[in-house]
Structure 1
Amino acid sequence: MFPFHFRLIQKYTHAQRTRYRTPLFHINLHVRGLRWYRAAGMELRDPGPFLSLIAPGTVLEFEFGADRENWVIQLATDHVRPAACAREVVVVHENREVLVPAFLELEQAVLVHWLQRFMAMRESFLDPHPLNRLTLDLGVAEILAFMIREHGQTSHADSAASLLKQRIDHDMEFRFSIKALCRECGYSDDHLRRLFQQVYAISPGEYRRRKRLSRVLDLMGNSRFTLKEIAARTGFRHVSHLSALFRRQFGIPPSQAMRHLRLSNRQRRL
């Protein structure tokens, strides 16, 4: 994944007019109240909802009214920089430059989804437990992939990679290998792996691993299953396999993480 250091995830609702140069990478979800906005040669007036990416070093100018609602994620990174085109940013991943659209208008139904995602990411950000870093990483990867996928027309690579992603997402108990899922999609293993990496800037194996850990965390915090039952429901033959992967990712045993998550959820419901 990309080496990002999360500095802030915040919702803003106050009127404001300002101009400044940002030292950080910004991911912005604009909901309402924006009167005008200038960044990297792009100018907007009274726009509807949109997602935007702002590279470090960019000069921002904007004015919000009293009806303002927008969300901002600020990240410190050396792997994002301005592109030659004002409506793109360059993201460097595994020594390869990826052009990502810097602006994308949102329909109302899509806006609701992203509001929920930003709120969930803020909850994870406010709890400094290392387990929540996975939720944040997946959130940023989802935003970047969405902006790449939704920009322009869908290509053959997009369609094939999207089909594999759907297969991975629907395999909730992680019973099938990536090779088997590629065969279901009608493509060779090597070819579809390359297309997936090209479209989503992450290998299908790594994407599946992170989805699997995310599912483990969800069951730990939101069910009464034992660790053995969670392992069985997420495709691990033995609890020891789950424990080894979990320790490598988070540096703590899964039993400790499960106690923390269930205690946090109980306290949140009080």
Structure 2
Amino acid sequence: MAISSSRPEAESPAPEDGTARRLLDSSARLSYDPLTEVDWQTPLDESFHGTSPEWSTLYGTEYWNELTDAQRKELTRQEAASVACTGIWFEMILQQMVLRDVYAKDPTDDTVQWALTEIADECRHSIMFARGARKLRAPAYRPRRTAVELGRLFKTVAFGEAAYASILVAEEVLDVMQRDWMRDERVVPFVRTINNIHVVEESRHMKFAREETRKHLARAGGVRRRIHSLVIAVASYVIVTSMVNRKVYANAGLDEARALREAKANEHHKSMMRSSCSGLMDFLASAGLLTKPALFFYRRAHLI
């Protein structure tokens, strides 16, 4: 969108500022209030799944074939809640990194105002995910202690392309899953609404993360680029492997040890993850962030 003609020509914004203005305009036109958009009042209908069954960590395994329809639906509801809780954890990290990035910058600048808008979005998303998990009758799933402490370190020290590319990885992986879930009539309606809200609003966040990653990489030397490519890959591995908490199986009434073994060996789920991340990996490759050390962690997370 063109900048107001009252601004002097010499003060025309940089390209990334133009992106920020367009994102602000988009947010003004299309944003949601989850407190009113999501049906929080209707009791949970247990005849629905929580995610598309094909996205379950056990789909395609022998154990899945042995489960009753009710057990499968309960498992996907617990998995949906776990993904939501992991999303809250990472959104808290994201908010702190973005706020730290714009600290002491000009608050009248479009880029800073968009960053604050994104933080406001993430606050609403976190509350929405928390209420959704509670309505799915799930506990507050939390990442393992090692992941929590690594996240604490990462949010404190990560900057530039390391912060924004890691944000992009987390958002892209979740985005692909949720696009399937929001269209799937087998998924409980209020979860479909949550997914739709998140997909629409996160599309703007991903655009900003790509722009910021490119902008910071343009100033990065070879050594910094190699170091940050590894940091991004490790962060991605921790995020992706934390999405489904091991306790979902016991809470769904399954044998946790057996479920874990079959989930870890599930080639169908690995294939789903790889196919969903093809566009993301293309972006990271074009940015020069798929170094050999980084590829090791992406392969371990089954993202490539």
| Higher strand residue share | 1
Q: Larger RCO: Structure 1 or Structure 2 (Cα < 8 Å, ≥ 6 residues apart)? A: 2
- What range is the shorter-chain TM-score in? under 0.3
| Higher helix residue share | 2
With the length of structure 1 as denominator, give the TM-score of the two structures.
0.26
